[in-house]
Amino acid sequence: MSSRVCQSCGCTDIDVDQARGNAVCMSCGSVLEDNIIVSEVQFVENSGGGSSAVGQFVSADGPAKAPVLGSGFHTSLGKESRAQTLQNGKRQIHNLGSQLQLNQHCLDTAFNFLKMVVSKHLTRGRKMAHVIAACLYLVCRTEGTPHMLLDLSDLLQVNVYILGKTFLLLARELCINAPAVDPCLYIPRFAHMLEFGEKTHEVSMTALRLLQRMKRDWMHTGRRPSGLCGAALLVAARMHEFRRTVKEVISVVKVCEATLRKRLTEFEDTPTSQLTIDEFMRVDLEQECDPPSYTAGQKKLKMQQLEQELAQKLDEYQGEISVYKDEIENELENSRTKLRGIYAAYAKQDLHEEFPVDTELTGSEGAEDEEVEVAAQHLTQDFVSHLVSRDTQADEETEQSESKEQLQHPEKKQVPLKSILGPLPTVASLGLSESIKECITEQEETDDKSDNGELDLEGIDEEEIEKYILNEKEVLAKTELWMVQNAEYLREQKEKEERIAKEKEMGTYKEKPRKPSKRREPIRANTAGEAIEKMLEQKKISSKINYDVLRDLNSKGSDASSPSPAEDVPVSSGRKRLTRRKKQPNKSNLGLAKPASLMGKRLRPLISSSPKKKSTSTQAVPVVTPLTLCEPPLPTPLPLVESGPVSYAEPAEEEEDEEEEPEEPCVSAIQLIGGDEYGCDAEEEEAF
Amino acid sequence: MEPSDDVALDITVTNVVSVFRTRCHLNLRTIALEGVNVIYKPETGKVLMKLRKPRITASIWSSGKIICTGATSEEEAKIGARRLARCLQKLGFKVRFSDFRVVNVLAVCSMPFQIHLIQFAKNNRPIASYEPELHPAVTYRIKHLRATIQIFSTGSITITGPNVQNVASAVEQIYPLLHECQKALK
């Protein structure tokens, strides 16, 4: 290969070490070149453990598109920033996507979604991170990958609901109907994380069956799918004799303990839970269950119905008891001696009063307490009867008869106390509620409807409103309290005022810090080309462009000059991020006005045709073609081309020579480009 | 309130939000110090005042704009707002009651059947949105009525709209759709 001549000794034997990046003269040992730019492919390790090549794929569309002059130019103006946005977005997608272990196809789809989103201006006012996460989640949903929104929010440390909001909005705007989340999708992922070893597949199948059953039992509507998965996996693990505690399952599935337990109890309530393991695997129960929340509501209704029934039954029993009481009483009366006058009067009353008293008491206190209540009543009756009998010094016969007959004893002596005590609390309790109800209804009735107008004072209770306003003493007390409570805030306010006063004195006071608004002079130009030129200069779209060269270009070429800066500008900016080596040929590209611009068009189909081929080919191709043209036209545009780019072209060429041999498609591509239009083609072939 | 078609469904209005202006600057500190049931929030620059009779909570700003929440009917909202204005008048501000309008009405309704949410979401694809990871209910938005309905699997639904009339018509509109996707009657 043609090598350089050593400057110090004139020797042509130069050793180029790729690994070190040195070019050293073999005779005198002087280092001719250091940090040689290599065109080898470098690999970098991913977070997932795989390795990916360093470099970027240049897409077919985007900055490399030929912009239309005139009306279409506005789109290419915004495209600079648009291209940046998309590139930035793509980078972030790859970052996040690799953390989630999504394959390339998913990432590409996500990037497509992002492009749609950006074109619909939905990124405005939203954090880019949220939008990207939403795009990724859209892809996960449409592809059916086992990724939850929770995973994304964990990675980004953002609230799930905020992400969910963005996701819903994007899905709606892009008219993408994501299929509903199926909990079955998550089972393999969680099963793997729970480490069942060889039996993972079996446990997964069992869990899937359980899930199907849960679905039919209406446990999954309105629930987070991860919770159901957790419950199914826990049961499946137990069925296969793996001891997985609730805590382990929770850490994998990301729900809280209470949720998991609730799901388990709900499943317990279904008839399927009664089957044994073998039966479950073989048999499928036909019937379906209601959703658990519905059954809970039904339970309440049932409880109320039960209570009503019990109350009815109580009444019946009470009726029976009172009948017995009557009979016994009659017999007693007949057999007993007549009592003294005071209690005889009461005796007549009690028969009528007892019934409402008892039913009220028992009805209000509920079925369960009824028996206790009745027993208590009778106990008190007995006790009181003893006391009363002692006081009145009744006959021993009556005492004995009383003590013998335990229950169902309407004792007249006891009853007066009961009748006095009994109705009192009930009447009071009932009366209170009624009076409260009356109060409320009164208040509501005083509220009238009013017409339009300033302030209609009808129906406004002045007194009540007076109550809302504190009197002076209260005001003072409250002022003190409030001052103490809000001392900090008041202090801050004072400081702020002092600061503003100072600034006013000094004359540097600003109402609010305002951003300095950029005012640009309107461009005045004669032709469209001039206007574009000036705009480009002003806006300074890219820092890599040598504007002086641009201007010279414009002066040299009339028609070709205007598209060339436009084309080269996006081309160069698009390639900004490529390796340094590529920039050099770009600069030399600029040095070739016409052929370069026309070349540019041809270059693009080249690049587009091999987007996913090895990066070597993409790197080599754009290098090869401009370089081949570099050589012949060099002598002609000497004043334009700087010596800088030219010198670098040579070593690049050397390396590219090495690469050329194995990569024959490059050569054929050149032939594609070369064709008949350029006279330098003949010279190209000669060079190789 | 209003029966829908043949079935008499109970639509219970649970919250009415309304706004009005007093057309005068209000000194929040005075209100905070002299009123009962007031909470002053200096960070956000508003005072919360709660009335008992029509149970409402009002957020009062110093510009004179007031938002009232918690009323159970449109009339009640208006009465509460007037009462509040009267109270402010008594505190010494030259209050005028203007631009009263009801902004939002929240109502609750219960269907006598359960609803298959996934099927419902499938049938009404773009309008209805169901994300079980985020919320257990299906969200159905009726654009021309500007009403949003949240449908739960038990059959209960909550409707939010700009006024009670819209809410009622929203229920009427959604009833047949829900009826299609109901679960097997038991």
CA distance B98 to chain A (A): 7
- Contact of B126 with chain A, judged by CB distance below 8 Å, is answered with yes
pLDDT one-digit tens code per residue, A677-686: 444 444 444 4
Torsion of CA A290, A296, A298, A299, to 10 degrees: 130
Among the residue ranges A52-66, A122-136, A315-329, A445-459, the one predicted with the least confidence is A445-459
Q: Is the dihedral of CA A645, A651, A655, A661 positive or negative?
A: positive
Rank A156-170, A189-203, A436-450, B117-131 by mean pLDDT and report only the highest. Answer: A156-170
CA distance B34 to chain A (A): 5
Residue A407 has pLDDT above 70, yes or no: no
CB contact (8 A) between residue A450 and residue B152 = no
In this predicted structure, what is the pLDDT of residue A386?
Answer: 62
- Closest-CA residue of chain B to A478: B33
Residue B183 has pLDDT above 90, yes or no: no
In this predicted structure, what is the pLDDT of residue B126?
Answer: 79
H/E segment holding residue A299: helix A292-335
Instruction: Please state whether A447 falls in left (phi above 0), alpha (psi between -120 and 50) or beta.
Output: beta
Between positions 47 and 106 of B, the ones with CB within 8 A of A are 51, 53-54, 75-76, 78-79, 82-83, 85-87, 89-91, 95-98
Q: What mean pLDDT, rounded, does chain A reach? A: 68
- What average pLDDT does range A634-662 have in this prediction? 44
CA distance B17 to chain A (A): 18
pLDDT one-digit tens code per residue, B23-82: 888 888 888 888 878 888 888 889 998 888 888 999 999 999 999 999 999 899 998 898
- Nearby residues of A245 by Cβ (< 8 Å), 6 or more positions away: none
Question: Would you place residue A57 in the very low, low, confident or very high pLDDT band (cuts 50, 70, 90)?
Answer: low
Residue A405 has pLDDT above 80, yes or no: no
In this predicted structure, what is the pLDDT of residue A72?
Answer: 47
Is pLDDT larger for residue A524 or for residue A116?
A116
Per 3-state DSSP, chain B is made up of helix, strand and coil in percentages (nearest 5) of 25, 40, 35
Report whether A287 contacts A271 (CB < 8 A): yes
In this predicted structure, what is the pLDDT of residue B16?
Answer: 94
- Closest-CA residue of chain B to A474: B34
Where does residue B51 rank: exposed (0-12), middle (13-18), buried (19+ CB within 10 A)?
A: buried
Question: Would you place residue A533 in the very low, low, confident or very high pLDDT band (cuts 50, 70, 90)?
Answer: confident
pLDDT one-digit tens code per residue, A365-384: 444 455 566 656 666 666 66
Among the residue ranges A236-240, A447-451, A466-470, A569-573, the one predicted with the least confidence is A447-451
CB contact (8 A) between residue B137 and residue A222 = yes
- Contact of B37 with chain A, judged by CB distance below 8 Å, is answered with yes
- Contact of B21 with chain A, judged by CB distance below 8 Å, is answered with no
pLDDT one-digit tens code per residue, A90-149: 999 999 889 888 889 999 999 999 999 999 998 889 999 999 999 999 999 898 888 888
Question: In A25-61, which positions are buried (b, 16+ CB within 10 angstroms) versus exposed (e)?
Answer: beeeeeebeeebeebeeeeeeeeeeeeeeebbebbee
> Does pTM top 0.90 for this prediction?
no
- What average pLDDT does range A148-166 have in this prediction? 89
Residue B160 has pLDDT above 90, yes or no: yes
H/E segment holding residue B16: strand B11-21
Where does residue A567 rank: exposed (0-12), middle (13-18), buried (19+ CB within 10 A)?
A: buried
Question: Around Cβ A336, how many Cβ atoms within 10 Å?
Answer: 16
Report whether A361 contacts A422 (CB < 8 A): yes
Residue A651 has pLDDT above 50, yes or no: no
- What average pLDDT does range A60-82 have in this prediction? 54
In this predicted structure, what is the pLDDT of residue A10?
Answer: 84
- For residue A222, give the nearest of B86, B126, B152 by CB distance: B152
In this predicted structure, what is the pLDDT of residue A520?
Answer: 62
- What's the CA gap between B10 and A579, in Å, rounded? 71
Residues of chain B with pLDDT > 70, as a percent, come to 95
Q: Which of A263, A455, A483 to mutate to test the interface with B (most CBs of B within 10 A)?
A: A455
Is pLDDT larger for residue B180 or for residue A356?
B180
In this predicted structure, what is the pLDDT of residue A544?
Answer: 63
For residue A440, the chain B residues in CB contact (below 8 A) are none
For residue A475, the chain B residues in CB contact (below 8 A) are 33-34
- Contact of A291 with chain B, judged by CB distance below 8 Å, is answered with yes
Q: In what order do the strands lie in the sheet with A22-25?
A: A14-17, A22-25, A31-33
For residue B132, the chain A residues in CB contact (below 8 A) are 180-181, 220-225
Where does residue A201 rank: exposed (0-12), middle (13-18), buried (19+ CB within 10 A)?
A: exposed
Is pLDDT larger for residue A536 or for residue A46?
A46
Between positions 434 and 453 of A, the ones with CB within 8 A of B are 443, 447-450, 453
Q: What mean pLDDT, rounded, does chain B reach? A: 86
